[in-house]
Structure 1
Amino acid sequence: EEPRNARSRRTREALLMATRELIEQDGFAGTTLAAIAERAGVSHRALYLHFSSRGELLAT
């Protein structure tokens, strides 16, 4: 696997894990994209490169 692809996969996995953790902790309505990005340790831009909404994160 190329380094760029591996990094992208890790970022996506971190975002999905952060989403699950925050929804469990705060509920869907209390979970923001900013909080997800912060928990995952990525920028807002990186989040939007992978997902366009909370709904898309949940559907994944």
Structure 2
Amino acid sequence: EEGTEAAAVTEVQVNETSAPAEEPIILNLDSPFLYAVVDLDSGLPLFIGIMDDPAK
């Protein structure tokens, strides 16, 4: 047979990387506090709560 013969090779290399870790923030929640879940796009609160006794 006469004709054209072709071949192709695709190589993909993936490396796992991440940004440098920041120092952890330590929160001592040992007194009553108010908390909220806020939508970042609109700035509107989605949920608001109060922790009146963190020792429980």
Q: TM-score, normalised by structure 1?
A: 0.19
Please give the TM-score of this superposition, normalised by the length of structure 2. Answer: 0.19
Higher relative contact order, structure no. (Cα contacts within 8 Å, ≥ 6 residues apart): 1
- Structure having the higher Rg: 2
Structure holding more strand per residue: 2
By percentage of residues, which structure has more helix? 1
